[in-house]
């Protein structure tokens, strides 16, 4: 298999002569994500912005010869499947994919296109059974809109509960995950809500409805953007929120274009670099969650308030240490932001936290206690640092009411957006590089992705963590984050005093 300098993504889909959807939209999307797009055309549709005049499915040998030729030279990093015009095509593509995936497991995203935005049917009736039997078990994600979900599940999906039930039913039929798009019908007025059903877990991604007619090709664009992100190595949830933001940006920036007399194409406007285009991740404790059947009233957390901000959005060098002795040594060297992270607590834990709080007061530190939020409240600490898993178990309302600052760990776009909903005092992003301190190998971000995340929140206190050495610190600082957290680069340094000075020089410059 030849290495390529850009990830290769295939689109197995129909051509839209009007240039708004199908492979035309897919190729524009792949290019925006820095991927090389290849196509296997299933149908040569005759369309404009108002109607579909013909579908013109290609014969099976024409379809398979495209796929076989691509396989010989342009092996994909991900595949997006769009319009499959009849049961024969579904079966042929499924058979081809089964063999391909045995050579190498790559992500497959299927957008089960059934009806054009003009309302015209695009597939022969009765392909649903073949899709369910042969294709779904090969897919990592399917992205039906609510109408397509209804057709596949054979049940009405008029409420949030029914959408979830239908998604569960299709996952039981064999596909790994579903993203049910909500652009065509609002459960809450003014909100475009997509449901991601993955591994038995529901996530609602809420975007603001953008008024305007230029929405042709949104489904094709979304599924292609997800496939491109998967080809770039993004985890599924990150791929879904970035792709939704890409479509939202296209709707917002493309709404003023005048192309044709019907529904014009959604814009393809480059990487989504503005936070306003990213969805809110719905939290069970917020009021509107009730409308999505997602409510958990036990959690009494005041959303409007968020957590107390630190005195600066640039927290500087942020050593994470495991003893009060280290806190004192580093405070003496002028370090202002510190964390006590004790992973194997002994019987003297309370004493350690009290000692840390006392040092924090003496040196006027921004001192965060990792994990032990109850003790931190009881001892009157400056702040608490929590991981994603802690968000479910910790009493955030109690931390908020006690006036403690809160830092939250995040690993990628999805977790960043989720944690941002709580408006914590800072957001940590990791792991930037491989580290020996903790196994983060499945959650590495790198500096390019870090820079993209940092650009979304330019004025927010952001901390980068994970594998950051002195040599790597300048590249991290250049992403715009105002703080670098380190364990081994300070506590494992031959000369920690020198390491502190050198890090401070990099961050302050
Ligand atoms: C500044 C900072 N960022 C991230 C972490 C990691 O916290 P968490 O995910 O809770 O993992 P543990 O540290 O508890 O292993 C951190 N401690 N500090
Ligand atoms: C504790 C921790 N949390 C991480 C995260 O990504 O959430 S990475 C990490 C280890 C940081 O240690 P070092 O500076 O030695 O690489
Ligand atoms: Mg923790």
Is residue 72 exposed (0-12), middle (13-18) or buried (19+ Cβ within 10 Å)?
exposed
| Count of residues in the chain | 509
Residue 463 has pLDDT above 80, yes or no: yes
Ligand 1 pocket test, pick from 373, 384, 385 with the greatest ligand atom count within 8 Å of Cβ, gives 385
What is the DSSP code string of 256-297? T---SSSSPBPP--SS---GGGSPEEP-TTSGGGGGGT---T
Rounded to an integer, what distance in angstroms lies between the CA atom of residue 216 and that of residue 212? Answer: 11
- Cα separation, 214 vs 449, whole angstroms: 30
Could you tell me if the CB of 467 is within 6 A of ligand 2? yes
370 Cα: distance to centroid of ligand 3 (angstroms): 5
More confident position, 305 or 444: 444
What integer pLDDT is reported at residue 286 of this predicted model?
87
Best mutation site among 487, 499, 500 for ligand 2 pocket (most ligand atoms within 8 Å of CB): 487
Burial of 13 (0-12, 13-18, 19+ CB in 10 A): buried
Q: How far lies 250's CA from each of 392, 432, 472, in Å?
A: 34, 29, 35
Closest CA to 349 of 365, 378, 327, 372: 372
Residue 2 has pLDDT above 70, yes or no: no
Given a contact cutoff of 8 angstroms between Cβ atoms, the answer to whether 313 and 461 are in contact is yes
- Ligand 1 neighbourhood includes 366 CB (under 6 angstroms): no
CA of 471 to the centre of ligand 2 (A): 16
pLDDT at residue 121 is higher than 80: no
Integer Cα distance of 397 and 301 in angstroms: 5
Percent of the chain with pLDDT over 70: 97
Q: What percent of the chain has pLDDT over 90?
A: 80
Cβ of residue 341 lying under 6 Å from some atom of ligand 1: yes
Q: What is the ipTM of this complex?
A: 0.96
Q: Which two tokens stand for residue 191?
A: 């909100």
Residue 117 has pLDDT above 70, yes or no: no
Whole-angstrom distance, CA of residue 204 vs CA of residue 196? 6
Tell me how far apart the alpha carbons of residues 407 and 426 are, in angstroms, rounded to a whole number. 5
- In the reported structure, the alpha carbon of residue 341 is separated from the centroid of ligand 1 by a whole-number distance in angstroms of 8
Region for residue 344 given its phi and psi (left: phi exceeds 0; alpha: psi -120 to 50; beta: otherwise): beta
Model pTM greater than 0.90?
yes
Residue-averaged pLDDT of the chain? 94
Q: Which residues contact 286 (CB under 8 A, 6 or more apart)?
A: 303, 421
Mean pLDDT of 438-443: 94
Nearest ligand atom owner, CA of 373? 3
Taking phi over 0 as left and psi of -120 to 50 as alpha, with beta for the rest, 126 belongs to left
User: How far does the centroid of ligand 3 lie from the alpha carbon of residue 93, in Å?
Assistant: 46
Q: Find the farthest-apart pair of alpha carbons in the chain and give their distance in angstroms, rounded.
A: 78
Tell me the pLDDT tens digit for each residue of 325-373. 999 999 999 999 999 999 999 889 999 999 999 999 999 999 999 999 9
CA 381-386-390 angle, 5° bins = 125
**C-beta of 438 in contact with ligand 2 (< 6 A):** yes
pLDDT at residue 297, rounded to an integer? 65
Residue with tokens 């991900």: 78
Beta carbon of 438 within 6 Å of any ligand 1 atom: yes
226 lines ligand 2 (CB under 6 A): no
pLDDT (tens digit per residue) in 188-245: 888 999 999 998 999 999 999 998 888 889 999 999 999 999 999 999 999 999 999 9
Q: Is 411 helix (H, G, I), strand (E, B) or coil?
A: coil
Q: Which atom of ligand 2 is closest in space to residue 443's alpha carbon?
A: 6
**pLDDT for the residue numbered 119:** 64
Q: Which residue has the higher pLDDT, 299 or 46?
A: 46
Which residue's alpha carbon is nearest to atom 1 within ligand 2? 438
Amino acid 118: pLDDT:
62
Q: 281 and 292 in contact (C-beta within 8 Å)?
A: no
User: Is the Cβ atom of 435 under 6 angstroms away from ligand 2?
Assistant: yes
Mean pLDDT of 7-11: 98
User: Ligand 1: distance of its center to the CA of 370 in Å?
Assistant: 7
Strand order from edge to edge, sheet including 191-198? 52-54, 36-47, 8-16, 78-81, 108-110, 141-142, 177-180, 191-198, 201-208, 280-281
- Of 370, 415, 418, best ligand 1 pocket probe by most atoms within 8 Å of the beta carbon: 370
- Scan for tokens 């109690």, then name that residue: 398
pLDDT for 130 beyond 70: yes
Q: Where is the binding site for Mg(2+), in residues?
A: 371, 390
Q: What secondary structure letter does DSSP report for 134?
A: I
Cα 286 to chain center, whole Å?
21
Which of 266, 211, 213, 212 lies closest to 244 in space, CA to CA?
Answer: 266
The atom number, within ligand 2, closest to the CA of 341 reads 1
Nearest to 378 by CA among 361, 352, 353: 353
For ligand 2, is residue 370 a contact (CB within 6 Å)?
A: no
Contacts of 57 (CB under 8 A, 6+ apart): 42, 43, 85, 86, 89
Rounded CA-CA distance 126/133 in Å is 12
How far is it, in rounded angstroms, from Cα 401 to Cα 198? Answer: 34
Tell the residue number behind the tokens 């709580």, with chain if given. 422
Q: Of all atoms in ligand 2, which is nearest to the CA of residue 431?
A: 6
Ligand 2 centroid distance, CA of 465 (Å): 5
* pLDDT mean over 128-140: 94
* CB 20 less than 6 A from any atom of ligand 1: no
> Given its phi and psi angles, is residue 169 left (phi above 0), alpha (psi -120 to 50 degrees) or beta?
alpha
**Which residues are documented as binding site?**
339-343, 370-371, 390, 409, 435-438, 467, 487-488
Instruction: Answer whether 321 contacts ligand 2 (Cβ < 6 A).
Output: no
Ligand 2 contact via 487 beta carbon (within 6 Å): yes
- Closest residue CA from atom 7 of ligand 1: 387
Spatial distance between the Cα atoms of 471 and 263, rounded to a whole number of angstroms: 52
CA angle 226, 163, 294 (to 5 degrees): 90
Per-residue pLDDT of 280-313, as tens digits, reads: 999 988 888 989 988 776 666 777 789 999 999 9
Query: Which ligand has the shortest distance to the CA of 470?
Result: 2
Q: Long-range contacts: 302-308, Cβ < 8 Å, 24+?
A: 302/397, 302/400, 303/421, 303/422, 303/423, 305/400, 305/423, 306/422, 306/423, 306/424, 307/399, 307/400, 307/404, 307/405, 307/406, 307/422, 307/423, 307/424, 307/425, 308/403, 308/404, 308/405, 308/425
* Ligand 2 probe mutation, 391, 409, 440, 493, most atoms within 8 A of CB: 440
Residue in 379, 502, 493 with CA at minimum distance from that of residue 367: 379
Q: Is 505 helix (H, G, I), strand (E, B) or coil?
A: helix
Closest CA to 274 of 297, 246, 296, 301: 246
| Ligand 1 and 411: CB distance under 6 A | no
- Strands 52-54 and 78-81 come out as unpaired
The two tokens of residue 82 are 């769009």
Measured in angstroms, how far is the CA atom of residue 275 from the centroid of ligand 3? 26
């Amino acid at each position: 298999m030849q290495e390529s300098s850009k990830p290769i993504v295939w689109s197995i889909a129909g051509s839209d002569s009007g240039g708004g959807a199908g492979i035309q939209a897919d190729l524009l999307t792949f290019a925006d994500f820095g991927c090389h797009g290849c196509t296997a055309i299933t149908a040569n549709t005759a369309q404009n912005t108002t109607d579909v005049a013909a579908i013109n499915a290609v014969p099976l040998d024409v379809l398979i010869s495209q796929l076989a030729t691509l396989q010989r030279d342009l092996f994909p990093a991900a595949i997006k499947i769009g319009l499959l015009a009849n049961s024969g095509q579904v079966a042929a593509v499924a058979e081809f994919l089964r063999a391909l995936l045995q050579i190498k497991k790559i992500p497959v995203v299927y957008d089960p296109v059934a009806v054009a935005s003009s309302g015209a049917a695009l597939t022969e009736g009765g392909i649903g059974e073949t899709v369910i039997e042969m294709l779904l078990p090969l897919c990592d994600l399917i992205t039906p809109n609510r109408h397509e979900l209804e057709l596949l599940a054979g049940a009405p999906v008029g409420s949030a509960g029914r959408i979830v039930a239908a998604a569960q039913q299709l996952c039981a039929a064999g596909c790994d995950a579903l993203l049910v798009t909500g652009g065509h019908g609002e459960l809450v007025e003014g909100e475009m809500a997509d449901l991601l059903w993955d591994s038995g877990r529901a996530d609602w991604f809420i975007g603001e409805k953008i008024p305007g007619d230029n929405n042709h090709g949104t489904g094709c664009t979304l599924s292609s953007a997800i496939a491109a992100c998967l080809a770039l190595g993004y985890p599924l949830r990150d791929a879904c929120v970035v792709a939704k933001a890409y479509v939202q940006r296209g709707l917002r920036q493309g709404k003023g274009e005048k192309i044709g007399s019907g529904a014009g194409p959604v814009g393809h406007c480059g990487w989504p670099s503005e936070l306003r285009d990213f969805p809110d991740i719905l939290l069970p404790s917020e009021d509107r969650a009730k409308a999505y059947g997602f409510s958990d009233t036990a959690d009494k957390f005041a959303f409007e308030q968020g957590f107390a901000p630190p005195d600066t959005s640039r927290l500087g060098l942020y050593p994470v240490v495991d003893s009060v002795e280290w806190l004192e040594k580093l405070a003496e060297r002028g370090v202002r932001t510190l964390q006590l992270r004790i992973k194997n607590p002994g019987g003297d834990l309370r004493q350690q936290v009290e000692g840390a709080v006392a040092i924090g007061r003496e040196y006027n530190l921004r001192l965060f206690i990792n994990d032990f939020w109850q003790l931190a409240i009881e001892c009157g600490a400056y702040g608490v640092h929590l991981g994603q898993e802690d968000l479910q178990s910790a009493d955030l309302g109690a931390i908020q009411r006690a006036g403690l600052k809160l830092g939250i760990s995040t690993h990628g776009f999805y977790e960043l957006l989720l944690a941002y909903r709580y408006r914590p005092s800072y957001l940590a992003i990791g792991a930037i590089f491989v580290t020996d301190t903790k196994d983060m190998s499945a959650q590495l971000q790198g500096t390019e992705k870090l820079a993209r995340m940092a650009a979304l929140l330019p004025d927010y206190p952001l901390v980068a963590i994970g594998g950051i050495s002195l040599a790597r610190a300048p590249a991290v600082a250049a992403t715009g984050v105002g703080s670098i957290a380190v364990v081994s680069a300070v506590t494992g340094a031959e000369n920690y005093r020198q390491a502190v000075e050198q890090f401070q020089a990099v961050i302050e410059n």
